[in-house]
Chain A
Amino acid sequence: DTAVSQTPKYLVTQMGNDKSIKCEQNLGHDTMYWYKQDSKKFLKIMFSYNNKELIINETVPNRFSPKSPDKAHLNLHINSLELGDSAVYFCASSRRDGNYGYTFGSGTRLTVV
């Protein structure tokens, strides 16, 4: 059983398109996150949700909109994709207090052409 699963694993799309990445966790965690890893390999947090409530929004453009239908799912919708959005996006989950570590998904490699 995959603890944190993301789909799709790869996504190639044209500039200006709208796309979504889905994430699901079966660990019973209360908190979920989206991280972005750019070409220089820096991992940066984008959002966190705790039990469907947005907790952290790290100065991410409005084109990025997370949606959490329930505490086991956190999807990321991106409007009007730009070349600079090309990156690997990781979903993660944790207990509410973050202790005992975050569990990350295997990532979605987004390429905007």
Chain B
Amino acid sequence: DAKTTQPPSMDCAEGRAANLPCNHSTISGNEYVYWYRQIHSQGPQYIIHGLKNNETNEMASLIITEDRKSSTLILPHATLRDTAVYYCIVFQTQGGSEKLVFGKGMKLTVNP
């Protein structure tokens, strides 16, 4: 019952920016957009999250459209180690009963 849609896969050249799209047209006003990634055989890793403003941290930038129906995760200078499955998730805190629901995600392959 994931509430987001992502393309199944995407390629990017090493050193270039990787722009990962996500649609979440049914997002409600108090739901956040979260991004995680899972590098092969490792546990999922939190990347970034936002509500309506654009966000940036040391890993990535998150651009959320004004109507909040879609967002883009930007890896400014992709490296080979960024090859992973990326999950875009909408998530609402509910005082402890919330759960992070993973969809199929999108496989990003960074090529040399």
Interface residues of chain A, those whose CB is within 8 Å of chain B, are: 4, 30-31, 33, 41-45, 48, 50, 55-56, 58, 90, 92, 96-107
B98 CB-CB contact with A under 8 Å: yes
Check A101 against B34 for contact (C-beta < 8 Å): yes
How many A-B residue pairs have C-beta atoms within 8 angstroms? Tell me: 60
B20 CB-CB contact with A under 8 Å: no
- Name A31's contact: one of B32, B34, B49, B96 (CB within 8 Å): B96
Least Cβ distance of A47 to chain B in Å? Answer: 10
* Known pairs A42-B104, A98-B93; A104 contacts B99 (CB<8 A): no
* Known pairs A42-B102, A43-B102; A107 contacts B96 (CB<8 A): no
Check B46 against A101 for contact (C-beta < 8 Å): yes
Q: Which of the segments B21-29, B37-45, B61-69, B73-81 contacts the partner chain?
A: B37-45
* Known pairs A41-B85, A42-B102, A101-B49; A50 contacts B96 (CB<8 A): yes
- Name A99's contact: one of B44, B93, B97, B102 (CB within 8 Å): B93
* Known pairs A41-B85, A43-B102, A45-B101; A97 contacts B96 (CB<8 A): yes
A-B contact pairs, 12 of them (CB 8 A): A4-B43, A42-B104, A45-B100, A45-B101, A90-B44, A97-B93, A97-B95, A97-B96, A98-B93, A99-B49, A102-B44, A104-B44
Least Cβ distance of B36 to chain A in Å? Answer: 8
Least Cβ distance of B3 to chain A in Å? Answer: 15
Q: Please classify how large the interface on chain B is, using the bins under 10, 10 to 19, 20 to 34, 35 or more.
A: 20 to 34
A53 to B, closest residue via Cβ: B96
Check A48 against B99 for contact (C-beta < 8 Å): yes
Check A104 against B45 for contact (C-beta < 8 Å): yes
Least Cβ distance of B97 to chain A in Å? Answer: 6
Chain A residues near B95 (CB, 8 Å)?
Answer: 96-97
Most buried by A among B95, B99, B102: B99
Give B85-112 as 1s and 0s: 1 = Cβ < 8 Å from A's Cβ atoms: 1000001010111111110100000000
Check B43 against A92 for contact (C-beta < 8 Å): yes
Chain B residues near A55 (CB, 8 Å)?
Answer: 96-97
Check B97 against A56 for contact (C-beta < 8 Å): yes
Check A98 against B44 for contact (C-beta < 8 Å): no
